[in-house]
Structure 1
Amino acid sequence: MALAGTAADSQDDPLPFQDDFASSVLEGLSASPKTAEPKWLYDALGAKLFEAICEVDTYYPTRNEMTVLADRAGEIAGHLGNDIILIEPGSGEGIKVRYLLDALGGQVTVYVPVDIAAEQLVYLGETISAAYPDMLVAPVVADFTGTFEIPADLPPGRRVLFFPGSTIGNFEPEVASELLKRLREESRADALLIGIDTCKDEDRLVAAYDDPVGVTAAFNKNLLNRINRELDGTFDLDTFHHEARFNPDRSRVEMHLVSDRDQTVEVWGRRFSFSQGESIHTESSHKYSPEEFQVLAGRAGWRPDTYWKDSDGLFSLHLLKAG
């Protein structure tokens, strides 16, 4: 089938999310402690750097999730049924979805990738459409953490949300539950297939988010590059370093950009002071046991169906039904 039009077709502003980016950055730098929303890590370069992180030996989540998908794809296909409209919030390069599409074959009639990175999304839509010519591909350029619309002219079918990568772990548990609830309501999905990283020993967790090659550090510090480029920032990247910390009380890994000295930076004409050792908390990755996640999802109106884990028990993939 032909590639459907995207939300980008009607966007005249080459940076449609710039105002949101500016407001978010200024608010986060004004807070105490300073923070940044992790979604802003994923500009075009950030998305490429994250894909590189997924290839690093110490970063197990992607590798283990793909193992589960590869090993269990047939079982998953059997649970999902036919005439599927597959909706993927935060689709990225769409690597993992191919495992599902290959296993599901003609069971998927429509694929709806949703992503904030417009250039990457258009490329994904073209490559997926070429690889699966009998399936309609309808990309949506949007921030899935906010309100977005699924195309209204899709054919009827069973709607399935595919949310891999333990992306839900980037949100505080209460916010994660609200997001899962809103995704269910706005997409009118019948089922949710979602990846969840399990809690494990601190050394393994920290190594996954602070690789020896320095790719994760480049990914994190690219946020400062983006602020400098898009918001007239004056961050000196040589005076900040990347740091990953495990917070056992909140069962999460935190990423920080730490100032190496006392300094002042400007962003959009506003000045922000940093003391030596002060950080910007850029991302959290919460870890859940399967039982803990099922409780969280239940609060969002999702009913547990089944889940699968890799052989080492490092990662779980959950199938839930709309309650």
Structure 2
Amino acid sequence: MLETLEHVDPAFRADVLNGLAEPIPAIPARWLYDRRGSELFDEITRLPAYYPTRTETGMLEERMPEIARLIAPACAVVEFGAGSATKTPILLRAVQPKAYVPVDISGDYLRESAEVVDRDFPGLAVHPVEADFTRDMQLPKEIDGMSRLGFFPGSTIGNFVPQSATDLLRHFRTTLGTGAKLLIGMDRVKGVERLIAAYDDPEGVTAEFNLNLLRRINRELNADIPIEAFRHQARWNDMLGRIEMHLVAIRDVEFAIEEARFVFRAGQSIHTENSHKYGPRGARLLLLAGGWTPLAEWTDDDEDFALILAEAQRERFAP
């Protein structure tokens, strides 16, 4: 009998074991972001082909004075995901909040990110929260009574299928409270070649990011997955309007995770991430369904990416 590692997140274990046992094997994308995964994703955002970060950062730099005028002074900024070294400071300098609350599932990465903000903004109260922001969580009592601005950049909302994205936006609304605002980034639909290049870079960083999930499973779940038996693949699913990331078996392979055994035939894949792309109307409808009323929207000159400021609906929205 293999040893069970007590420190492993039981949700990670359950998602991996249950996901690989499905007829179409899949593992939720949030498990890509252990410490190494977070570091690799930071590398991805600086690659020439990965336009979302570069485009969104440029928009924040250009539009932030206008955005800041629409946000209550002395608010608490709650960022869902540990702060970006480039985007978060732009927001904090312009808005000048009273408190900053980064929320992330990766504790080490979260603390390092929070320390950087604490160092660079000495007058700002920083309250990191280690949590899965897709689940129930408590915000620090120190921000009770403050107006709140949620910050969800990077088109991370696109990682969720529409129903889950709607549920997540409702969760954000409940967490932040009525009257709160949300600044969210959403990637737009564009040419397939540009999309594939952004998620399958020639430098191989995205491939390493995807394969790191298998290394994490081996390390944390007593698994013996042969990493070399899988390769990264990015696919455009036109019907569902999304890029999909897969780990494809290049040969027949069998492996064990704890006491469970799995067999993959050559060509069979593990679906690891989605990145949905939204047109203007689809983005606004998604926010409305999630309990948020769009207030203003900005795009770059090529309309590759959108930033939307929305307000938590005061009336009761449909469950």
Q: Secondary structure at the match of 2:98?
A: strand
2:33, 2:291 → 1: CA distance?
Answer: 29
Structure 1 unaligned residues grouped into runs of 5+: 1-13
Contact 1:47 1:92 (8 Å CA) reproduced: no
Residue in 1 that maps onto 2:78:
87
> Which residue identity lines up with residue 100 of structure 1 in the other structure?
L
The runs of at least 4 aligned residues of structure 1 exceeding 4 Å deviation read 14-17
Residue in 2 that maps onto 1:309:
299
Residue in 2 that maps onto 1:110:
99
Which is worse superposed, 125-134 or 45-54?
A: 125-134
Structure 2 unaligned residues grouped into runs of 5+: 314-319
> Which residue identity lines up with residue 162 of structure 2 in the other structure?
P
Normalised by the size of structure 2, how large is the TM-score?
0.94
Contact 2:183 2:308 (8 Å CA) reproduced: yes
Residue in 1 that maps onto 2:247:
257
Residue 134 of structure 2 is aligned to residue 136 of structure 1: no
> Which residue identity lines up with residue 91 of structure 2 in the other structure?
L
1:130, 1:194 → 2: CA distance?
Answer: 25
2:39, 2:262 → 1: CA distance?
Answer: 29
Residue 170 of structure 2 is aligned to residue 181 of structure 1: yes
> Which residue identity lines up with residue 223 of structure 2 in the other structure?
G
**C-alpha deviations, 1:182-237, integer Å up to 9, x for none?**
11102216100000000111111011000001000000000000000000111111
Residue 91 of structure 2 is aligned to residue 100 of structure 1: yes
Residue in 1 that maps onto 2:192:
202
1:68, 1:75 → 2: CA distance?
Answer: 11
Q: 1:309 offset after TM fit, Å?
A: 0.6
Q: 1:17 offset after TM fit, Å?
A: 5.8
Counting only pairs closer than 5 Å after superposition, residues 25-174 of structure 1 correspond to structure 2 as 25-105=16-96, 108-174=97-163
2:301, 2:156 → 1: CA distance?
Answer: 21
Q: Secondary structure at the match of 1:35?
A: coil
Contact 1:73 1:99 (8 Å CA) reproduced: yes
Taking a change above 3 Å as real, the CA distance of residues 15 and 64 of structure 1, as seen in their structure-2 partners, is farther
Residue in 2 that maps onto 1:6:
none
Taking a change above 3 Å as real, the CA distance of residues 308 and 15 of structure 1, as seen in their structure-2 partners, is farther
Aligned-residue sequence identity (percent) comes to 43
Normalised by the size of structure 1, how large is the TM-score?
0.93
Q: 1:69 offset after TM fit, Å?
A: 0.4
Q: Secondary structure at the match of 1:169?
A: helix
Contact 1:93 1:120 (8 Å CA) reproduced: no
Q: 1:16 offset after TM fit, Å?
A: 6.1
Count residues with an aligned counterpart: 308
The equivalent position to 2:260 in structure 1, one of 251, 258, 270, is: 270
2:255, 2:24 → 1: CA distance?
Answer: 16
Contact 1:194 1:317 (8 Å CA) reproduced: yes
Q: Secondary structure at the match of 2:278?
A: coil
Q: Secondary structure at the match of 1:34?
A: coil
